Amino acid sequence: MASVAATSQPLPISPMSSSKTSPTCSAESAGASKRPERVISLDPAVHPQIYHAWLKYCKVGTEMTGTNTRALNSSRLRRGIKHALEQTSGDVRTLEEQQAFVNKTWGRYRGIQREDYAEEQRLLTLHKYKRHLSQINYADIGEEPASLEKLSAIVARKGSWWQAVASENNRIAAEKRRRKERDLINSKFGHLPESERLAAYNRFKAENERLSSMTVKEASDGHKREFLKWLKDNPDFFKLGKCDAYEKAPLKIIHTRFPVSNDKMTTMTANASHMLTIVKHLMSKATHGTMKIRISYDADTEFSPRQICYSSAHGCLNIHNTQRLPAITYAIDAVIDDNVVISSSEGLQEISKRLPVQFHDKFHAYVKVHGLIEWANFRKVYSVKPEFISSITFQTADKRFVVNKSLRTHNIRPIAAVLNSIDEKWSFNKARHDVIANLERDLSSKKRSPRPPLKVGGDIVAQLTQLKIMKTDGDISKEEFLAAKATLFK
């Protein structure tokens, strides 16, 4: 029977040695395949983990000796040793052979880790699949439940399991409505040709909705009297007036497009809580330009920015039942009460005045069908949290600022320092700086010939000529020249 042994020194030993430092184990007890006798010599000083795992492998093989994570990793390592034994054909004596044996062991150990993790994920996905599958009403339409692969594909497309469940239930509910409508069309308009049934049903449905809206149903007489009194007391309730968000805004710019030039660009970062303050500070610097902000937030865990409208007749009003604000870049024209006014180039929104909450459910359709509700086009105004602004781009005729949201949560730069930096960059005039630098460079490069010293008491013509040269070269000012000239003529 073939046997292998581990020793504390990388020296050849007898395969059947019974020394304490060189235990032996048969190929059958260790789980190795049958081979001729060979020697496995490992140095515990160089490879201590593999050495001790090898000793345990000789005693218990690859079986787990516990239930905790340490026992699991020990079993994985011993399975790696078994794999290395199967892949090694000869003795393991030299340091190079030991290193090759250890590399095979660790490689298989990592492979087993990956396989176990993949199996855990598969079981977790299967558990989620079974749990969420019970929440989908496939029996309502007599449809077979979706397979694991199909539902996993929906999860990958939607982003989460609950969204996949909601999507499937919405699809099933829509299918139930379609089947109900189809049965109604066939039962009520089955006598018509198939090409005319749908049009007849649509006319029937529209007429029913109109008739149902003409009268107030499921409202008590007392509730009707309250609504009648409120309607008389508020004759101008449905008149919206015009949108005056831009006119009322203390900070606004005239939306003007300028050519984009990277030579004029200034880039900086700021803390998330300071982004709206920076928007207002930049907007106070110019009257014409383009201000763009990029909105970014987690649509799964965070609420969309709240929409508001400013009416000349009713002031600030909240918008009900609005869609989520997509996380994209928007051009804004003004900021009012920490709310951003989106540029009219992004489109307007048609809105109407909503009845008070105590009357809306019962009387909204009634007043709508009688034409009391008035509609008007308003600018889009949103209450955007500062941390939702991921970047700011401000473009004027001669400057371009780009401010990005910093991801740092410690050592936050004070807002005063950020605003001071913006002021310094704003006051910097590149054209003036270039002109001054060119003149200084031109003057410093000019070489002057040595001038003879001014002779006092000599020829007055020569002195006047030298004074004129000094004035021309800039050595003396005009006042100094006139004073020196007057001195000579005394």
Give me Rg for the CA atoms of the chain.
43
Q: Among 198, 196, 134, which residue's Cα sits nearest to residue 169?
A: 134
Summarize pLDDT for 300-319 with one digit per residue, the tens. Answer: 778 888 888 898 888 888 88
User: Is residue 467 pLDDT above 90, yes or no?
Assistant: no
Per-residue model confidence as pLDDT tens digits over 411-443 = 778 888 888 888 888 887 777 777 888 887 776
pLDDT at residue 135 in the model: 86
Confidence category of residue 448, pLDDT binned at 50, 70, 90: low
In this prediction, residue 393 has a pLDDT band, given cuts at 50, 70 and 90, of very high
Residue extents of the structural domains in the chain: 3-121, 138-214, 245-427, 448-490
Distance of CA 298 to the CA centre of its chain: 7
Residue type for position 280: K
Q: Output the CA angle 266-269-273, nearest 5 degrees.
A: 135
Taking only the tens place, the pLDDT of each residue in 235-285 is: 888 888 888 888 889 999 998 888 877 667 888 888 888 999 999 999 998
Which is higher by pLDDT, 299 or 456?
299
State the alpha helices, DSSP H only, in 189-311: 194-214, 221-233, 245-248, 275-283
Pairing state between β 389-395 and 381-383: unpaired
Residues 6+ apart with CB under 8 A from 202: none
pLDDT-derived band of residue 124, with 50, 70 and 90 as boundaries?
confident
8 A C-beta contact, residue 105 and residue 77: yes
Contacts of 50 (CB under 8 A, 6+ apart): 42, 77, 81, 101, 102, 105, 106
The amino acid at residue 457 is G
The confidence band for 27, taking pLDDT boundaries of 50, 70 and 90, is: very low
Structure tokens at 330: 């928007």
Q: Are 264 and 399 in contact (CB under 8 A)?
A: yes
Return the SS3 of 230: helix
Question: Contacts from 447-456 at CB under 8 Å and sequence distance 24+?
Answer: 448/473
Mean pLDDT, the chain, integer: 81
Q: What is the pTM of this model?
A: 0.49
Per-residue confidence band for 400, with pLDDT thresholds at 50, 70 and 90: confident
Residue-level pLDDT at 152: 86
What confidence score (pLDDT) does residue 259 get?
80
**Nearest Cα to 400, choosing from 253, 261, 292, 255?**
261
Nearest alpha carbon to residue 39 among 10, 65, 60? 10
Torsion of CA 126, 130, 135, 141, to 10 degrees: 110
Report whether 168 contacts 181 (CB < 8 A). Answer: no
Unique residue bearing structure tokens 């909503």: 354
Count of Cβ atoms closer than 10 Å to residue 403 Cβ:
24
Q: How far is residue 304 from each of residues 228, 384, 389, 447, measured CA to CA in Å? A: 36, 9, 12, 68
Q: What is the pLDDT of residue 413?
A: 80
- What is the C-alpha separation between 325 and 317, in angstroms, rounded? 18
SS3 1: coil
Structure token pair of residue 478: 């005009």
Give residue 302's identity as a one-letter amino acid code.
Answer: E
